[in-house]
Chains A and B, each alone.
Chain A
């Protein structure tokens, strides 16, 4: 894959990093590329990364990010990606304000994927989400233009991160209408990722009302067999059904039987149960929301023995609590 044939000169031991740093300063493009390739290889060794950071590499790399050669830019992105694997690397990258040049690179085709991966690693940092917010307008602008499925999924997961930090900003820039076509996209992965983003968006009140519009697509996603898809879709329904409009819409779309089926499925293996635990909890919460309407309450009262039996059989504490809340709401009378 690497078109550069001879690897760069790598010194031994402690000299590796400073020597490469010198080579990076060379004006000729070919030598620089080789040095970058060698640096990328070097950084795979675990302690070199901290060494490189201490040697003040980052400023040089920042300059190189704006180089003309696209190969150089791609290589630098890879190196940054490797640096971001460490916590200290992430911290250094955020502190050295790498985000503006990186946002320029979002437009660049060969680097784009690496930049997405890099940004998703940065979001693992404690202040990473907040710093990603500055990139939010650019990311949202890229959303309709992205063609490849993998890049779409990466971009959507980045957006989910941003939305979780501050959904209001996204709602102000009209995120729901941008995301709506992705929910009915062809690929399942894209739909799943879009549903996760919707779930993050539907946390504040204004978001709930906006997401009500796209509930039909979400209900369609709920019918899929994939567990992640079901999880995300039931999450969206759970949040949206808090509002009255959402409740009525959901009942109208007839999601109640599907949610009941999700709750009452029994599995014997411990691992499957543990994996399905969030799904069961979300579905139960959604049922609780829907049980606050008279129509929903009536439907659920018919299913009440089923719920009670389930709550007796269940071992997990959290699920039991949620089940009891649901039963309470169903049997509530004013």
Chain B
């Protein structure tokens, strides 16, 4: 037989051992030789009515056979009941009420059966093999079975709860951070809303102030200029007044000094007269020179005469 690759048995089929062989043989071979099951005298074969009855020979133990169907186990010679043990007594019991009348001719009952023409073939009854093996009972009570769902529930609850809790807290942290940043942003926006207005007004103020200052400076400068102009005018009036008298006297002194002149006169004076004078001077000089010359000549002459005279004198004195 194959290994249990094809079937799974609750009780494996066993080889029926050959009863005619001795269980123990002098050769020591204890291996069970499978006998031919069709030749096994224990197995009942054939039609029940054609079998010679051998039941009369061996006593049939009807009490121990539970559900005996059409098969009847053919038994071999059983040993007689042993002698009773000391202290016990065997009792013969008549099993009359359980006896059956055995006869050659079995009781035959004829039953006819005819299926209805329109009846369908009934379903084959489910083959339920007769029970073999030992009966074992077990009863599973209400809470005995290991219910995975129930057991796992607290663990799952804890796991899921912890995870959810942690994730909730993490999400809350992130939300806190996000809220902080949103608050910062909101503050920034509010600030930026008001700040440029402030700047603009400041700037406006500054511009106006500068404008005002500039105008005031201009005004001041204008005032100063006016004042200057007024002073100038006063000064001018004063000087005019002074100069008014000054002018004739100036003219008079100038005229006195001779700054106003007749150009012809001046010309005559400057050009003509010097030349004239020069000429006159030259003429006079010439005259003077002539006179000097004459004087010299005279002097020379007189000197010579004097010398001659002296010479004459000396000559005269000398004899």
Contact = CB atoms under 8 A, between A and B. Distances in A.
A288 B177 contact: no
A199 interface: yes
Interface in B164-223: 166, 169-170, 173-174, 176-177, 180-181, 184, 188-189, 192-193, 195-197, 199-200, 202-204, 207
B204 A292 contact: yes
Nearest to B197: A285
A85 B193 contact: no
A243 B180 contact: no
A203 B199 CA distance: 9
Given A199-B192, A278-B192, A285 B200 contact: yes
A203 B180 contact: no
Nearest to B195: A203
Contact of B181 (A87, A124, A235): A124
A46 B170 contact: yes
Nearest to A121: B177
Given A121-B177, A124-B180, A44 B166 contact: yes
B193 A289 contact: no
A183 to B, nearest CB: 19
Contacts of B177: 85, 121, 124
Contacts of A112: none
Contacts of A325: 197
A45 B169 CA distance: 8
A147 B196 CA distance: 34
Q: Using C-beta atoms within 8 Å of the partner chain, give the interface range for chain B.
A: 20 to 34
Interface in B124-171: 166, 169-170
Given A44-B166, A242-B196, A124 B203 contact: no
Q: Using C-beta atoms within 8 Å of the partner chain, give the interface range for chain A.
A: 20 to 34
A189 interface: no
A289 B192 contact: no
Contacts of A86: 173
Nearest to B185: A278
Contacts of A292: 200, 204
A262 to B, nearest CB: 15
A238 B192 CA distance: 9
B184 A45 contact: no
B54 to A, nearest CB: 82
A76 interface: no
Contacts of A289: 196, 200
Contacts of A288: 197, 200
A238 B196 contact: yes
A322 B197 CA distance: 9
Nearest to B174: A85
Nearest to A285: B196
A286 B197 CA distance: 9
Contacts of A318: 193
B202 to A, nearest CB: 8
Contacts of B166: 44-46
B193 A239 contact: no
A184 interface: no
A282 interface: yes
Contacts of B170: 44, 46
Interface in B202-247: 202-204, 207
A242 B200 contact: yes
Interface of A: 44-46, 85-87, 121, 124, 164, 199, 203, 235, 238-239, 242-244, 278, 281-282, 285-286, 288-289, 292, 318, 322, 325
7 contacts: A235-B192, A239-B195, A239-B199, A282-B196, A285-B196, A285-B200, A292-B200
Given A199-B192, A285-B196, 11 more contacts: A46-B173, A85-B174, A124-B177, A124-B180, A164-B188, A239-B195, A239-B199, A278-B192, A292-B204, A318-B193, A322-B193
Interface of B: 166, 169-170, 173-174, 176-177, 180-181, 184, 188-189, 192-193, 195-197, 199-200, 202-204, 207
Q: Which 10 A-B pairs have the closest CB atoms?
A: A46-B169, A242-B199, A285-B196, A278-B189, A238-B196, A124-B180, A242-B203, A281-B193, A85-B173, A242-B200
